[in-house]
Amino acid sequence: MTKAFEVRAGDLDVDAMAMYPLPQELLSNGTAVSAEVELAPCPSRSTLRVPIFEARLGGTTLAVTSESFGVEFAARTGTLEQARRGWPTPGGVRVESVATVVADSNGIGNGMLLAPVLSGLAQIEWSE
């Protein structure tokens, strides 16, 4: 059973993040840097085969993981079809820094937004 999973800088879905306003002030003032975030399964975007997680800080969504992250995660943990329980919760992920990213301009603003750079060896917490 997988107990940890690496979260890398490229594991976020920038285009999905551009579709709704993220807390740019929270990211720009530096309070998010080095903070631990909660990776919570997103019920509206996850499927039985691929989890999509929202990175939350104090209940505020900072970012959304990419589908490729979810595919790799499910390859190591198994799908919900196999597990017959909810997606495990990855803990111990931190905001390493904040970067300016360019997203699909169909979202908010001009397509440029601040996004957290997440990193860490996420400890997978299985609920029974």
pLDDT at 118: 95
pTM for this entry = 0.87
Angstrom distance (rounded) from CA 17 to CA 1: 31
Summarised one tens digit per residue, pLDDT across range 73-92 is 999 888 887 766 788 889 99
Nearest 10 degrees: CA dihedral of 12, 14, 19, 25? 90
d(CA 112, CA 102): 5
Q: What is the DSSP letter of 105?
A: T
**Tens of pLDDT, residues 24-73:** 888 888 889 999 999 999 989 999 999 999 999 999 999 999 999 999 99
Average pLDDT over the chain, rounded to an integer: 86
